[in-house]
Structure 1
Amino acid sequence: MSLQNITLLVADVERSRRFYQEAFGLSESGRSAPGMALLNAGGVTLLLQPAGASAAPVTPGGVELGFAVPDIAQARERLARLGVWVGEGQRMGWGEGFDARDPDGHALTVYHQFGDHR
Structure 2
Amino acid sequence: MQTARLANINLFVRDADQAYQFYQHVFGFELEPGMAHPPDFWVLNAGSATLSFQAKAAVGMNQEPVGGIELGVEVADVQATAARLQARGGQIDASNQMSWGESVDGRDLDGHRVTIYRRG
1:106 to 93, 112, 115: 112
Answer yes or no: is 1:71 the counterpart of 2:74. no
Q: Which residue of 2 aligns with 1:31?
A: 35
Answer yes or no: is 1:9 the counterpart of 2:42. no
* Structure 1 segment 12-91 matched on structure 2, within 5 A: 12-29=15-32, 30-34=34-38, 35-54=40-59, 59=64, 61-62=66-67, 63-91=69-97
1:55 CA displacement: 6.8
Aligned-partner Cα distance in 2 for 1:78–1:112:
16
Aligned-partner Cα distance in 2 for 1:52–1:4:
24
Query: Percent identity over the alignment?
Result: 38
Aligned-partner Cα distance in 1 for 2:61–2:13:
14
Q: Is the 8 A contact 1:71 1:112 kept in 2?
A: yes
Q: Is the 8 A contact 1:9 1:59 kept in 2?
A: no
Aligned-partner Cα distance in 2 for 1:86–1:47:
22
Q: Which residue of 2 aligns with 1:95?
A: 101
Label 1:60 to 1:32 Cα distance change in 2 as closer, same or farther (>3 A).
Answer: farther
Scaled by the length of structure 1, what TM-score is found? 0.86
Residue aligned with 2:6, SS: coil
Residue aligned with 1:61, SS: coil
Q: Which runs of 5+ in 1 are unaligned?
A: none
Q: Which runs of 5+ in 2 are unaligned?
A: none
The ranges of structure 1 where at least 4 consecutive aligned residues each deviate by more than 6 angstroms after the TM superposition are 55-58
Q: Is the 8 A contact 1:51 1:60 kept in 2?
A: no
Q: Is the 8 A contact 1:101 1:107 kept in 2?
A: yes
